[in-house]
A and B are shown apart, each in its own frame.
Chain A
Amino acid sequence: MTVNDLCNIEGFNPLTLPEGDREISGVYIGDLLSWVMGKARSDNAWITIMSNINTLAVASLTDVACVILAEGVTLEEEVKNAAENKGINVITSAYSAYDTALILSKAQ
């Protein structure tokens, strides 16, 4: 499933989608950034509620396919622009981290 495909699922809305054709492979869930850097793999979808500027740096360094902000969390305008510039896909999900992961698991 690509990030574009994910955005077609109800409850998932793109905040930035500069590389929508990236393929998602596996999921990592976490809000502690060093844990994410230690454990997330390239091409994972990373589910979190952290939406600050450091989230973008971690997404870029770990090379995840996209960041999914659970619980309807969104991005401040400034962070959103930075995500666009850095080429990072950020999706907001209306669901909890758990339900978001379940939906991803079914869709893959």
Chain B
Amino acid sequence: MSEQVVFTFDVDGDDFTSAGHASMQVKKNLRQLGIDPDIIRRVSIAMYEGEINMVIHARGGVATVSVSEEYIEIILKDEGPGISDIEQAMQEGFSTAPDNIRTLGFGAGMGLPNMKRYTDYMNIESQVGVGTTITMRVNLE
């Protein structure tokens, strides 16, 4: 097995305007690695949705992206309020986002569905009052 490339980012929970910084950086890094543009697009959109969720719903967190031979893996870990009903959260249109977030164009309840749609594997581990860890993978072959 050849070497893994790993990128780690702190996602700032207070700064909504800089949200997306990590995903944009990942997009750049993957391009430098010569990854297929369509795969980069899927990875960076899924990651951006997750990053925005950490900012809106969980006061920030940590994003880790690793590239192996088989897939690109994104792990988003926060210590926010957690998700009590994951099945409900995954439904298109379900959102607890406040109104001020909606005026910015977010809070349509399509973030988690987009993350699922653009990745080949997605797992949500969440505990109310403890936090949420989301793992996503996009296959490279």
Cβ-defined partner of A54 (8 Å) among B19, B108, B113, B114: B19
- Per-position binary interface string of chain B over residues 88-122, scored 1 when its CB falls under 8 Å from any chain A CB and 0 otherwise: 00000000000000001110111101100100000
Task: Report, as a range, how many residues of chain A touch the other chain.
Answer: 20 to 34
Cβ-defined partner of B117 (8 Å) among A35, A38, A61: A38
For B24, list chain A residues within 8 Å (CB).
57, 60-61, 86
Closest chain A CB from B1 CB (angstroms)? 30
Q: Is the interface of B mostly helix, strand, loop or mixed?
A: helix
Given A54-B105, A61-B48, A62-B45 in contact, is the A32-B110 Cβ separation under 8 Å?
Answer: yes
CB–CB B44/A32 < 8 A: no
CB–CB B106/A54 < 8 A: yes
Cβ-defined partner of A32 (8 Å) among B27, B37, B108, B117: B108
Closest chain A CB from B2 CB (angstroms)? 28
Q: Which residues of A contact B (CB under 8 A)?
A: 31-35, 37-38, 42, 50, 52-55, 57-58, 60-63, 86
